[in-house]
């Protein structure tokens, strides 16, 4: 080992030892315990995306419900990485979030979705700050959470096979499915899970398409009726316009409603509000609720964070867009209307 490598190795050992000592001191002095009296716990919520958005707001609402009567003061920072996914913006927002951590000194950081894990959570592993996450698609080990002692949270896993079955209840003739994705890295584990599920025996995926621009998306939508019976609209956030800017997903979905003749499915309720036909949705409220309950186990019950398992929520909510069904000429049976959440109009027409 060279002298410089030896110095780096000693420095890394000192940092690791200091972090472990700091964490042990935190547990011994009860800094993770919610005080019965005195000032409220400071909780920073770092969301990957932005508001207004049902997905982000619903997670925070659920988190507060799961935390219960713990006295808390909240600050929220929006990393806004869906509307601005370029590396420069993400780096700037990450620095802003970490500056807020240093200035406000929260005892808890609640992060939602994958970008916040990269930009915020991983910078505070094995520190006295309790870190709780939800809405995470990647495996915890990819962020180092499996080895950190101050992190726990809730994974997000989609209901693909269930969504396909719901779509087939509405359109029994669906057999060929094309999957549409943008080029965001977060979709890699989603695709891996989608490929592992067992679909109805008469359904096959005819193409996995990664699309980068809105113009390309429009061209592919026009081509799909010749090759598929339905579309799984999964990644639709990073489509670029002529100026290289992200096209808002609401605009993508409205254009789809106005121009696509094929039924489609997704995994999130806000997509159905904006025109996707059907979804067994990942509940944003359940994600946040489970995360809040984990935080409560640490703050109130004294459970060590690293001993609490990082698991996905399992409850899915069936949702259909009756407005889209009517536009596509699909008649929805009354029993399906009674057993699902029904969206009767498009968000933009309210």
**Closest Cα partner for 244 from 12, 65, 85?**
85
Q: Which residue has the tokens 């933009």?
A: 348
* pLDDT (mean) for 158-167: 96
Over range 74-78, report the average pLDDT.
Answer: 97
Least confident of 18-27, 148-157, 196-205: 18-27
> Does 42 share its domain with 173?
no
For residue 157, the tally of other CB atoms under 10 A from its CB is: 17
Q: Is the pLDDT reported for residue 85 higher than 80?
A: yes
* 8 Å CB contact between 130 and 109: yes
Q: Please check whether residues 19 and 147 belong to one and the same domain.
A: yes
pLDDT of residue 315: 82
Higher local confidence (pLDDT), 189 or 29: 189
- pLDDT, one tens digit per residue, over 98-150 is 999 999 999 999 999 999 999 999 999 999 999 999 999 999 999 999 999 99
**DSSP sequence for 190-215:** HHHHHHHS---TT-EEEEEEE--BHH
Query: Which range marks the domain in which residue 176 is found?
Result: 160-283+315-349
Mark whether 118 and 147 lie in a shared domain.
yes
- Confidence at 44, pLDDT banded by 50, 70, 90: very high
**Domain check: are 41 and 21 in the same one?**
yes
Domain count, the chain: 2
Kindly state the average pLDDT of the residues 255-266: 98
Same domain for 335 and 203?
yes
* Residues 68 and 30 occupy one common structural domain: yes
Look at residue 96 in the predicted model and tell me its pLDDT.
97
**The pLDDT value given to residue 120:** 97
Residues 279 and 296 in one domain: no
Specify whether 69 is located in the same domain as 194. no
Looking at the structure, tell me whether residues 30 and 175 fall in a common domain: no
Residue corresponding to tokens 């079955």: 165
Q: Is the pTM of this model over 0.85?
A: no
Residue 7 has pLDDT above 60, yes or no: no
Are residue 36 and residue 149 in the same domain, yes or no? Answer: yes
Radius of gyration of the chain (CA): 22
Residue 165 sits in a domain whose CATH number is 3.40.50.2300
Residue 17: the pLDDT is: 41
Average pLDDT rounded to a whole number, residues 238-264: 97
300 plus 232 within the same structural domain: no
Please report the pLDDT score of residue 31 as a whole number. Answer: 59
- pLDDT tens for 11-27 read 444 334 434 434 443 44
To the nearest 10 degrees (0 to 180), the angle between helices 54-67 and 284-299 is 30
Same domain flag for 248 and 183: yes
What span, in angstroms and rounded, lies between the C-alpha atoms of 293 and 278? 30
- pLDDT of residue 167 exceeding 50, the answer is yes
- The mean pLDDT value for 50-70 works out to 94
What is the reported pLDDT for 53?
86
**pLDDT bracket for residue 314 (50, 70, 90):** confident
Q: Is the pLDDT of residue 4 over 60?
A: no
Cβ atoms 145, 308 nearer than 8 A: no
pLDDT of the residue at 30: 45
pLDDT above 50: residue 52: yes
pLDDT for 219 equals: 98
Give the mean pLDDT of the chain: 90
Structure tokens at 335: 């029993």
């Amino acid at each position: 080992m060279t002298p410089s490598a030896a110095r780096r190795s000693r420095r890394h050992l000192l940092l690791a030892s200091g972090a472990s000592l700091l964490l042990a001191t935190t547990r011994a002095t009860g800094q993770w315990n919610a005080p019965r009296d005195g000032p409220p716990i400071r909780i920073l919520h770092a969301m990957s995306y932005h508001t207004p958005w049902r997905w982000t707001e619903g997670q925070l609402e659920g988190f507060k419900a799961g935390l219960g009567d713990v006295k808390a003061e909240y600050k929220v920072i929006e990393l806004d990485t869906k509307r601005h996914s370029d590396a420069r913006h993400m780096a700037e927002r990450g620095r802003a979030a970490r500056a807020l951590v240093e200035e406000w000194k929260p005892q808890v950081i609640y992060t939602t979705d994958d970008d916040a894990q990269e930009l915020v959570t991983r910078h505070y592993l094995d520190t006295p700050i309790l870190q709780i996450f939800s809405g995470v698609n990647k495996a915890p080990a990819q962020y180092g959470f499996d080895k950190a002692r101050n992190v726990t949270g809730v994974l997000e896993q989609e209901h693909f096979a269930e969504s396909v079955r719901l779509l087939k209840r509405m359109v029994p003739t669906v057999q060929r499915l094309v999957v549409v994705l943008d080029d965001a890295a977060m979709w890699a584990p989603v695709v891996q899970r989608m490929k592992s599920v067992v679909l109805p025996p008469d359904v096959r995926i005819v193409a996995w398409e990664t699309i980068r621009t809105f113009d390309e998306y429009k061209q592919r939508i026009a081509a799909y009726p010749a090759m598929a019976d339905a579309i799984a609209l999964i990644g639709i956030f990073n489509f670029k316009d002529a100026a290289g800017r992200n096209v808002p997903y609401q605009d993508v979905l409205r254009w789809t409603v106005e121009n696509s003749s094929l039924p489609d499915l997704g995994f999130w309720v806000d997509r159905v509000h904006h025109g996707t036909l059907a979804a067994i949705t990942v509940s944003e409220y359940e994600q946040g609720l489970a995360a809040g309950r984990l935080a409560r186990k640490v703050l109130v019950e004294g459970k060590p964070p690293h001993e609490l398992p990082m698991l996905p929520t399992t409850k899915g909510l069936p949702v259909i867009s009756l407005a889209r069904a009517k536009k596509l000429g699909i008649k929805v049976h009354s029993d399906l209307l009674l057993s699902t959440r029904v969206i009767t109009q498009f968000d933009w027409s309210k």
